[in-house]
Structures are given as structure tokens and as C-alpha cells.
């Protein structure tokens, strides 16, 4: 599916890869919303563990955590964040 930037309807912010999201979800904004909500909840849950892992210096656990949340950014169309997490991992 091609993103029509002239469509006066809903538009994702420029921070999101709109073409990727259009290809992933098509016009099903309800599915996108559900995936965004569940992904965001999981990212928040995992991020809450970061301080403890970093304080203990548990590099392996930090890598596993970042590996676990990396695809969630993709589901939300935040491919640049996903790339950043990949580099950090």
C-alpha cells in the first residue's frame, strides 16, 4: 500500500516511518492502535528494569533486554529507534 501524503485524514508524525506502517497495517488503524498500546506497555515495563541492571553492571541482561524490546519499536514504525537499539545492543 502506498501512503498518500495528500490525504486529509489521519497522519503519523514524521518520527514514524509512515510507508512502513502503511505496509504493515494498511488502513486498519484499530489494529495499529492495539499494537502500539501493547508495545508501549511492554517497552515501559522493560525500561523500568534498566536502572537495576545497569547498577549491577549486568551487561548480558542489558543486551537481552534491548534485544527483547528492539522489535517493538519496529511494530510502532520507529525504525530509527530500532536501529539505535540494535547498535546499542
The pLDDT tens digits for 32-78 are 889 999 999 999 999 999 999 999 999 999 999 999 999 999 998 89
Task: Determine, yes or no, domain membership for 12.
Answer: no
Task: Determine, yes or no, domain membership for 3.
Answer: no
Task: Determine, yes or no, domain membership for 11.
Answer: no
Task: Determine, yes or no, domain membership for 28.
Answer: yes
Q: Report the number of distinct structural domains present in the chain.
A: 1
pLDDT of residue 14: 76
Which residues touch 15 (CB under 8 Å, ≥6 apart)?
Answer: 78, 80
**CA–CA separation, 12 vs 22, rounded Å?**
10
Task: Determine, yes or no, domain membership for 29.
Answer: yes
Task: Determine, yes or no, domain membership for 6.
Answer: no
Residues spanned by the domain of 60: 18-88
HSE toward the beta carbon, residue 78, CA cutoff 13 A: 16
Task: Determine, yes or no, domain membership for 81.
Answer: yes
pLDDT of residue 38: 96
Task: Determine, yes or no, domain membership for 67.
Answer: yes
Task: Confirm whether pTM is higher than 0.85.
Answer: no
Amino acid at each position: 500500500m502506498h501512503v498518500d501524503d495528500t490525504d486529509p485524514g489521519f497522519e503519523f508524525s514524521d518520527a514514524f516511518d509512515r510507508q512502513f506502517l502503511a505496509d504493515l497495517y494498511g488502513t486498519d488503524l484499530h489494529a495499529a492502535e492495539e499494537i502500539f498500546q501493547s508495545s508501549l506497555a511492554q517497552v515501559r515495563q522493560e525500561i523500568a528494569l534498566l536502572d537495576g541492571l545497569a547498577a549491577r553492571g549486568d551487561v548480558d541482561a542489558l543486551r537481552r533486554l534491548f534485544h527483547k524490546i528492539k522489535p517493538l519499536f519496529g511494530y510502532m514504525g520507529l525504525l530509527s529507534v530500532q536501529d539505535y537499539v540494535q547498535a546499542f545492543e
